[in-house]
A = this chain, B = another copy of it.
Amino acid sequence: MNQQVRIGTAKHWAMTGAGRQNLKLVDGEIPSPAASEILVRVSAVALNYRDNLLVDQGFGFSLPGGQPLVPGSDAAGVVIAAGAAVTRFKAGDRVISTFIPGWIDGPGFGTARYPNDIVLGGSRQGMLAEYVVVDQDWAVKSPAHLSDVEASTLPCAGLTAWTALIEQGNLRAGQTVVVQGTGGVALFGLQIAAAHGAEVIVVSGDDDKLSRAKALGARHGINRNNEDWVEAVYRLTNDRGADHILEIVGGAHLGRSLQAAAVGGRISLIGILEGLEISGHFAQLARKSLIVQGIHVGHRRALEDLVRGVDTNGIKPAIEAEYALAELPTALDRLGKGPFGKVVVRVAA
């Protein structure tokens, strides 16, 4: 778990500091995998909200091993070569990366004082490269029925929703799930919940996106510009409220989610659009025995569970736009404009 992702490539993106001006597409060499490593030819890298924060604001930026940082965390590709000690993969296997490298299962890394900050494309070298070398423990087999572009969306957005609703949330058929917005995590939440027989309510300010969400399996859409969304949740559930809420707005908006939650409900903190300081009313939490949980993407075993769940149910991730490797800046711009689902960079030709 202490290994760096070593980057070799004909081409890869590299940053020497925060700001778009420091983001460069450069040439490098293709590395050889060490004994426990695999060499992967990257097909696609899905972008996340945090990639924009890192590139533009330096949020989580580092120079791993003193080298320019390769951004991007969520890759799908094909194993080209495997070190002598590799047992999990062989050349030709299709794989996806893990967001927090080395987290196999269980409670995860870090301490109270120093929470985990090991992530690809941040404290560790990332995936926006034609070839990457990773430890065999940092990858998972891709879902059979997804393309690499589709599969690249699972490691962060897909797994975050799965961890919230399934690994931690123990979702069951008949429960009500509220997702806020129609970004990557929200739509995976929608699809995962629907696959488990839950009733999904999507809250958005855009009727067109609500229609598209219903086509993906949402039972109800609430346009928050037309009505108070909490009142709408009461109405749609006969006052019962939502069993699970993916809180994607963040900040003081948590207080609204506390109101919308059913007795014994669970709210997963995902987004920070309205700020990093969350807040809400004690009485809602206490009198309804609510749980508010922080979600740190998830571990490898849960990602493997997600892959099985996706394959079994034929879930197709919602992808708003694809860009070529050289178009990364444009892709990041698109990401900043509120896409319906994911924005993906195609790497291999």
Chain A interface residues (CB < 8 Å from chain B): 1-3, 85, 87, 104-117, 166, 170, 172-175, 192, 195-199, 233-234, 237-242, 250, 259-265, 269, 272, 276-296, 301, 305-313
Contact = CB atoms under 8 A, between A and B. Distances in A.
Contact of A104 (B106, B110, B172): B106
Contact of A277 (B281, B301, B313): B281
8 contacts: A110-B263, A166-B172, A172-B309, A175-B308, A277-B282, A278-B285, A285-B292, A291-B292
Contacts of A286: 269, 294-296
A266 to B, nearest CB: 9
A196 B86 CA distance: 35
A236 to B, nearest CB: 11
Contacts of A264: 107-108
B279 A277 contact: yes
Contact of A234 (B112, B237, B284, B295): B112
A115 B284 contact: yes
A294 B287 contact: yes
B289 A112 contact: no
B294 A290 contact: yes
A29 B259 CA distance: 43
A301 to B, nearest CB: 5
A107 B304 CA distance: 12
A173 B166 CA distance: 9
Contacts of A308: 173-175
A310 B174 contact: yes
A115 B197 CA distance: 26
Contacts of A283: 115, 276
A309 to B, nearest CB: 3
B196 A173 contact: yes
A313 B239 contact: no
Contacts of A289: 107-108, 293-296
A260 B115 CA distance: 11
A170 B170 contact: yes
